[in-house]
Chain A
Amino acid sequence: MGSFIEVVLGGLMAGVLYSLVALGFVLIYKASGVFNFSQGAMVLLAALAFARFSEVMPMPVAFLLAATMMVALAFAVEWLVLRRLVNQDGIVLFLATFGITYFIEGLGPQLFGDNIYRIDLGMPKEPKIILENMFEGGLLINLEDLIAAVVAGLLVAFLALFFQKTATGRALRAVADDHQAAQSVGIPLNRIWVIVWSVSGFVALVAGMIWGSKLGVQFSLVLIALKAIPVVILGGFTSIPGAIVGGLIIGVGEKIAEVYLGPIIGGGIENWFAYMLALVFLLVRPEGLFGERHIDRV
């Protein structure tokens, strides 16, 4: 029993980390209808910037600088790409974000170098044993993961407040509902896009810092986008709670499969298991767990 709970706990924490990346996807999809494939590249860029800046300056300054850079990126994307592709099909915009991905994947290492860099956030690395009196041997948990989970939770709470309580948040939700209607009541679409891309750049920075301190900042960080995509479709493209719940389901499912199913059918299943899990969920609910139900009319 103890070991099972340990597996589930580990899965939950991994899931929170997936959610962090998935959140970036959802924010942009909600406000502009763009499935932003470059989220992974943005995580890499933000993490690289933070890692290199923090080598020469105190960490808060580095954080601010990296965040500023992500805002600048948001402006550039809006001005150079989105503005010029208004009213195109979703698939064309999707492909355009591939272009952005390639661009950032070249730009990031070119600016900041392509070695492996360390981010040390001063988090405790050694695992801790809790609840020794309840289970034999106690539960082994990783404090670093726990802190990451708390940070992710705070970020989500902050975003939820931002979306629900501020004027900008209301405008964002209006744009998500209906571009044209939002524009007709005087909401500036272009500024809204800059804001969402900035916010998701900020989310990418947080995700990049946490993932970077776990794995080291290196090119393979872009691959976590592929890890987060099943989370997004499972939760629904348009739902922030969906990204969180989806992340938790995928995280736990993946860990359980890895531990109990992996030895039976051979290892290495983590690359596709999340996708298959998401696929099965989608067969039951095609718009994701919390996605908007779509009614087709002729």
Chain B
Amino acid sequence: MFYRENGQFKTTYQADQAMLPIAQDRAFMVAVLLVAFVAVPLLADEYLFRAILIPFLILALAALGLNLLVGYCGQISLGTGGFMMVGAYAAYNLALRVPDLNMLVVFILAGLITTVVGMLFGIPSLRIKGLYLAVATLAAQFFLDWLFSRVKWFTHDSSSGSVSAPDLVVFGFKWDAPVEKYLFVLSTVVLFTLIARNLTRSHIGRSWMATRDMDVAAEIIGIRPVYAKLTAFAVSSFFIGIAGALWAFVHLGSWEPLAFDVNRSFSLLFMVIIGGLGSLLGAFLGAAFIVILPLLLNQLPHWLGIPVSTATAAHFESMIFGALIIFFLIVEPHGLARLWAIAKEKLRLWPFPH
């Protein structure tokens, strides 16, 4: 009844191509942004920022980048953790070795370095397809794992192998308190979501989707597969590199390569698929699911008042997590974002069933 586009006439081409063509959607988006930028900083406590909101936002950014590659261009990658690691260590080395560099420049350069590495490991995608490629990208993960734990130059000869990020000073202001860090991350994520949204609507995004749907057909209608696949790898790696730098600098503070191991790659792929392939909203929903679920499962026996040993709790956590992944894949193989789309469709017809 309320969610209708009836009577909203478009009189210009610009209005027709608007990002959110329905007025109710625009209102909803404004409300979401207001909650995120105003209400949450006022209401949330430190635990919420540290344990949930900041990791959620950063992982959502990484999932967004991965979704561009997997969901839009159809190239499955299991090297995401490795690329995040590149972003983190690139930012660390830039901040360390070029002391006067602006932090924003550090992040962007870290993203660009990750882009180069990502494109390098994307080259096999021109020849290898599907699951073979997915497994081949594991090579990137394990190689980068090894590189950053063995080559001392990257960790500045740190004896324990763990490195610490310098303070986050941007625009002469030290973003130190959890709420400040949250706002910093949130602004970055909003900016990159906008970029991603526009990229996927542009000719680049279309060439990715054509490649995903059928690469031979795409090639025949004049899309260069080299160009489409490598730009997808490049853009995706840029996003992931920035996310990696944020994860290290804002969330972790000090870290070692283990923070970006192969499990990180897997969990990011879960986010993208459980959230919904080829959907920007899906990246956020998937990230929320994967960040919050383990915390919930962890607290569950505590709330139910069942005394269990930590080992048992860990085993059941793993079992329930596995079962839930299967459950969601069976119920909605197109991801949580699809549920949202269905809900919107129902809303438009409400109160009628058809």
- Chain A positions within 8 Å of B, measured between CB atoms, are 35, 80-81, 84-85, 88-92, 94-96, 98-107, 109-110, 114, 226, 229-230, 232-233, 237, 266-269, 271-272, 275-276, 278-279, 282-283, 286-288, 294, 296-298
Contact = CB atoms under 8 A, between A and B. Distances in A.
Given A106-B322, A237-B131, A298-B220, A279 B315 contact: no
Nearest to A103: B322
B150 A276 contact: no
Given A95-B273, A98-B325, A107-B319, 8 more contacts: A90-B130, A96-B326, A99-B322, A99-B324, A100-B326, A102-B325, A272-B146, A278-B136
28 contacts: A35-B131, A81-B326, A85-B330, A90-B131, A91-B273, A95-B270, A95-B325, A99-B322, A100-B326, A101-B322, A102-B318, A102-B322, A103-B318, A103-B322, A104-B322, A106-B314, A230-B135, A233-B135, A237-B131, A266-B151, A268-B146, A272-B143, A275-B142, A278-B135, A279-B124, A283-B128, A286-B128, A298-B220
Which 10 pairs across A and B sit closest by C-beta, in order of nearness? A102-B322, A106-B318, A103-B322, A275-B139, A106-B319, A99-B325, A272-B142, A99-B326, A110-B315, A106-B315
B221 to A, nearest CB: 10
A226 B151 CA distance: 23
- Summarize B's interface: helix, strand, loop or mixed: helix
B76 interface: yes
A242 B189 CA distance: 45
Interface in B105-158: 124, 127-132, 134-136, 138-139, 142-143, 145-146, 149-151
Nearest to B217: A298
Contacts of B217: 298
Contacts of A101: 322
B142 A271 contact: yes
B132 to A, nearest CB: 5
Contact of B312 (A89, A110, A233, A286): A110
A269 B333 contact: no
B132 A282 contact: yes
Contact of A232 (B135, B150, B216, B312): B135
B35 interface: no
B133 to A, nearest CB: 9
B326 A80 contact: yes
Given A84-B330, A107-B315, A282 B136 contact: yes
Interface string B286-322: 0000000000000000000000000110111111111
A264 B318 CA distance: 41
Contacts, number: 139
B315 A109 contact: yes
A279 B136 contact: yes
B262 interface: yes
B51 interface: no
Contacts of B138: 226, 229-230, 275
Interface of B: 76, 124, 127-132, 134-136, 138-139, 142-143, 145-146, 149-151, 214-217, 220, 262, 266, 269-270, 273, 277, 311-312, 314-326, 329-330, 333
Contact of B131 (A85, A94, A275, A283): A94
B315 A269 contact: no
Given A85-B333, A95-B269, A102-B319, A286 B326 contact: no
A142 to B, nearest CB: 26
B318 A282 contact: no
In this complex, which of A100, A110, A287 has the most chain B Cβ atoms within 10 angstroms of its Cβ? A110
Nearest to A276: B139
Contacts of B124: 279, 282-283
B333 A272 contact: no
A233 B132 contact: yes
B322 A100 contact: yes
B230 to A, nearest CB: 16
Nearest to B130: A90
Contacts of B131: 35, 90, 94, 237
A279 B139 contact: yes
A243 to B, nearest CB: 14
B316 A275 contact: no
A293 to B, nearest CB: 13
In this complex, the member of A98, A110, A226, A271 whose beta carbon has the largest number of chain B beta carbons within 10 angstroms is A98
B315 A282 contact: no
A286 B145 CA distance: 25
